[in-house]
Structure 1
Amino acid sequence: MSRIHSGPIAVRALEIFDVAARLGSFTAAGAELGITQSAVSRQIADLEARLDVQLFARSGPNLSLTPKGRELAAGVGQGFQQIATSLAKIRTPTEHIVTLSMLPSVAAKWFSPRLGDFVRHHGDIDLRISVGRHLVDFRAEHIDAAIRYGRGDWPFLNATLLAKEEVFPVCTPEYATRNSLCVPKDLAGATLLHTDILDDWSAWFRAAHISVEVPSRLPRMEDDNAVLQAALSGQGVALGRSVLVADDLAAGRLVAPYEMRIPASYDYWFVYPAEKVPTPALQEVKRWVVNSFDKLAGN
């Protein structure tokens, strides 16, 4: 390889090389860094030209580090780790800020009632809640961490299980009495409130081994908070997700007329980018979230 470039090597090029070396794939590196595979390839080619060294051996779709590449990867990885450690030691006030993303229903039914507890125990942390139904782009949206509802198999994320969930009918005590909801088949005469969760009324009725025709033309709400509010207003029976209805059940605002519950397809997870070095503030937020979910489950 002949040298065709000269001059200083950009830190960005070394960052891209570090990610590509760690993941063993230009495509995966591009996905983690938020750039295209071709942009990664160009940066690596430019770095190899500047160093006059081949860093990766390419054989069709396979990619591996050369001996020189492994040597550079070890040094660059150690260097970035030292930089991260140094930055952590000279914490600036901005490191007291943590932006946490979550679903609107989780923000309304789980976080809001626990806001005071967080402030009492962590008043020095500037916690900012970002609410949305989409999978956030952590880097582009400046999100530190998220409470996600899923299977925990997101690539390039550090995921900690917070809670598994169950799904079951809930309504107000008055609605249950007024409609004589004594056994599951009594739901045939009730207004069934619909949302867009995978574990719907048909799944619950199948698990209960009863045949009830589920109306398809009733209003369907995509937000669990909205459907639970309808239930709290005495409009009908909702399929409650155990984490979201726990406080309302404990306070007696809602009741579960039947013992039959089905496991939800998804669970709750605390996630943040795998390459992120969590600040002490983020570690404290994670610890509080985990403890709060444990208390909710009675652990």
Structure 2
Amino acid sequence: MLLEGIETLLVLAKEGTMSKAGSYLYISQSAVSKRIAQLEKRLGKKLIEPSGRRIKLTADAIVLIDSIGPSYKEIKGLIFDQQRFQDHTIITLASSETLVAGYLGEMMGNYFQTDPYISISTHHTPVIVEKVQSGDATLGFCAGHLPPQHGLSTQHLLDERFTVISHQPQLQTPRALLVTDFKNPANANQASLLQKEGIVPLMEMDSYTAAAQLALGGVAPALVPISIVKTLKIDSAFCHHFDFLDELTRPVHLCYRQSSYQSVRIRTLIETIADFVPTVI
């Protein structure tokens, strides 16, 4: 119960509201409130205060989070290391949305015929890494640069190229582009390259698919990875290459805790994805 309460406080601090924390943890808003109340009673300290529609951490809560946040993730990871993966144990795969759509669809359809006990969820790369570190995910399938000192085992599968999607002909390098979320540190190399080229991020999307569809609709050119071209079956007439794209790729990695590789089922899944993905595009 103590670990459960600490986890809830950490999520609440990150998400800012009871509702968002409940959605993240797949529990009700009232359950979030109950967990926090139990933790406050256990510690004898007030941890949160209302602040409009959001919650505000007390000074005691901030000290607690700073003290135990990193250790909590490691504890969860160590508990995960003790788990034995039997034939029917669910393997959790946390993945980038575009990687699921662009690479895993057909492969996982076939794979489920031999091992259906797999659960897939989609997240941005920083969240994927956090989930694997804490044991909330068995395996991570990440697009973009990994955070430093993540402490996980990784396999680099490929460097995915980018293209510019536009409904209109593009005779020269566009001065503005629809892009993905540059607040995501995994996309930092895209932001720095566009700045170097003097290209303005016109709108920042949370989804490459959304950016591509807006570009095809004529809103503005969009910068997207080639897996999106494959997924959406975008005609080559709408795909444009410019010299600056020669410098732009996003690395695709698998990441996992070293202990996970000892499981035959997990190792087989890792090796199957690693063998298949580089052949797709």
With normalisation by structure 2, the TM-score equals: 0.56
Distance change in 2, residues 1:274/1:254 (3 Å): farther
| Pairs within 5 Å for 1:1-299 | 30=71, 33-34=74-75, 91-94=86-89, 97-107=90-100, 109-111=101-103, 114-125=104-115, 126-133=117-124, 134=127, 135-138=129-132, 140=134, 142-149=136-143, 150-151=145-146, 153-171=148-166, 175-176=167-168, 180-184=169-173, 187-188=174-175, 192-195=177-180, 196=182, 197-200=187-190, 203-204=193-194, 206=196, 214=200, 218-248=202-232, 252=235, 255-260=238-243, 261-264=245-248, 266-297=250-281
Comparing 157-166 and 191-200, the one that deviates more: 191-200
Indicate if the aligned counterparts of 1:148 and 1:269 stay in contact, CA closer than 8 A: yes
Count the aligned residue pairs: 199
With over 3 angstroms needed to count, the CA separation of the structure-2 counterparts of 1:161 and 1:100, relative to structure 1, is same
Write the distance in 2 (CA, Å) between the matches of 1:205 and 1:262.
Answer: 15
Residues in 1 aligned to 2:147 and 2:209: alpha-carbon distance in whole angstroms: 23
Q: Deviations over 1:51-87 (max 9, x none)?
A: xxxxxxxxxxxxxxxxxxxxxxxxxxxxxx9x99xx6
Summarize the Cα distance change of 1:220–1:32 in structure 2 as closer, same or farther, 3 Å threshold. closer
* Shift in CA distance, 120/165, structure 1 to aligned 2, threshold 3 Å: closer
Equivalent residue of 1:155, what SS?
Answer: coil
More helix by share: 2
Q: 1:131 to 1:273 in 2, by over 3 A?
A: same
Distance in 2, matches of 1:201 and 1:274, equals 32
* Percent identity between the two aligned chains: 13
What CA RMSD, in Å, does the superposition of the two structures yield over aligned residues?
A: 3.7
Q: Contact conserved, 1:102 with 1:132, CA < 8 A, in 2? A: yes
| Equivalent AA in structure 1 for residue 91 of structure 2 | V
1:139 and 1:202 map into 2 onto residues whose CA distance is 28
TM-score (norm: length of structure 1):
0.53
Compared CA separation, residues 92 and 206, structure 1 to 2 (3 A): closer
Letter in 2 for 1:34: I
Question: Could you say if the C-alpha distance between residues 161 and 169 of structure 1 is closer, same or farther in structure 2, counting changes exceeding 3 Å?
Answer: same
Task: Please tell me whether the aligned partners of residues 99 and 145 of structure 1 are also in contact (alpha carbons under 8 angstroms).
Answer: yes
- 1:162-196 deviations in whole A, cap 9, x for unaligned? 1113333222xxx23xxx42233xx35xx731332
How far the C-alpha of 1:98 sits from its partner, in A, is 1.7
1:152–1:269 contact (8 Å) kept in structure 2? no
Structure 1: any 5+ residue segments left out of the alignment? 1-26, 36-80
Q: Distance in 2 between the 1:170 and 1:155 partners?
A: 33
